[in-house]
Structure 1
């Protein structure tokens, strides 16, 4: 279910970036591709680049913290599975 939610979120972000990038004279293809693969981080960067800095920085920071937490969680899980713990 979480994977489905992430895919739907990336598709929504992609649609928003393609539509809004035309209004600001940016390349809709570039922002659409980046939005689909990198999601919230690219949305935050796009908002910063289009002078909506506050919400852009908030989205970028929160999504970056989320990705870092996910990576740490994966390493901890792998260490517990393959290393037998932290002792």
Structure 2
């Protein structure tokens, strides 16, 4: 279920970037592929490159912080599973 939601979100980023990129003289295929693979980080960088800097920086920083938290939780879980919970 989670993978279906993430696929839908990635497709939404890709479709938005595919439609919006030509309005700013950017390559629609490049930004759609980047949006599909990298998600909110690509969207934030796209906003920065197209002049919407505040929204771009907010999205980019929040996405990076989210990824750092997820990686930290995965490392914590791995340490707890290898050393035990006590």
Q: Same fold (TM over 0.5)?
A: yes
Question: Structure 2: how far apart are the matches of 1:22 and 1:74?
Answer: 39
Equivalent residues in 2 for 1:1-87, closer than 5 Å:
1-84=1-84
Compute the RMSD of aligned alpha carbons. 1.2
Residue correspondences, number: 86
5+ residue gaps, structure 2: none
TM-score, normalized by length of structure 1?
Answer: 0.92
TM-score, normalized by length of structure 2?
Answer: 0.93
Tell me the CA shift for residue 7 of structure 1.
Answer: 1.2
Tell me the CA shift for residue 44 of structure 1.
Answer: 0.3
3-state SS, counterpart of residue 46 of structure 1: helix
5+ residue gaps, structure 1: none
Deviation above 6 Å: which 4+ runs of structure 1?
none
